[in-house]
Amino acid sequence: MHNIQTGSGTVTYKAVQKAMNGELFTMNLTDSDEIQAIIAAVNQGIDSHLEACYCPDRGDRYDGGTRKVGKLVLCRTLECVISSESLPVLLRRLSDLDDEAGPRLASDILTALGFNDCGKFVGREALGLA
C-alpha cells in the first residue's frame, strides 16, 4: 500500500479509507485548473503502481455538467463520485502533479475528510467543518 505525500506530512491509503467510513466521496468542481488536474490524474489509467482511480464498478463517476441561472450557463462543472478504493490513488496522483491545482485540490480533499495540515486525521469537527 502506498502513501500520499502532502508536502507537510504523509497520509496512508488506509487512513483515507477509514476517514471515508465506507462512503463515496462527492465533489462538484467549477475551477478549470482543478478540473484539468482531475482529468490528468484519471487519464493515467493504470499507473506504474498498478493502481487505477476510475473504476465504474466501484461506483466511480466523473461527469461533465453546467451551472445555470435559468437558461444562462454560468460555468462548466465536473461532477465527481469517488469510491474509498479509488480516492487514495486519486489523491496520490493529484499530489504528484507538477502544477498548483493538483496538490492544492488534494489538500482540500484531505481537509474535507478531516485531516489537518500535517496529514494527521483529527476529524471534521476539529477543523470546524461539521
Q: Delimit the domains of the chain by residue range.
A: 3-120
Q: What is the pLDDT of residues 75-89, one digit of tens each?
A: 999 999 999 999 999
Reported as a pLDDT band with limits 50, 70 and 90, residue 2 is: confident
Q: What is the pLDDT of residues 31-50, one digit of tens each?
A: 999 999 999 999 987 767 77
- In terms of DSSP bridges, do strands 72-82 and 10-12 run parallel, antiparallel, or are they unpaired? unpaired
Reported as a pLDDT band with limits 50, 70 and 90, residue 67 is: very high
Q: Can you spell out the DSSP letters for 61-108?
A: EEEEEEEEETTEEEEEEEEEEE-TTTHHHHHHHHHHSSSSHHHHHHHH
Tell me: pLDDT of 1 over 70.
Answer: no
pLDDT (0 to 100) of residue 52? 85
Angle, nearest 10°, between helix axes 32-42 and 87-96? 110
pLDDT above 70 coverage of the chain, percent: 98
CB 87 within 8 A of CB 13: no
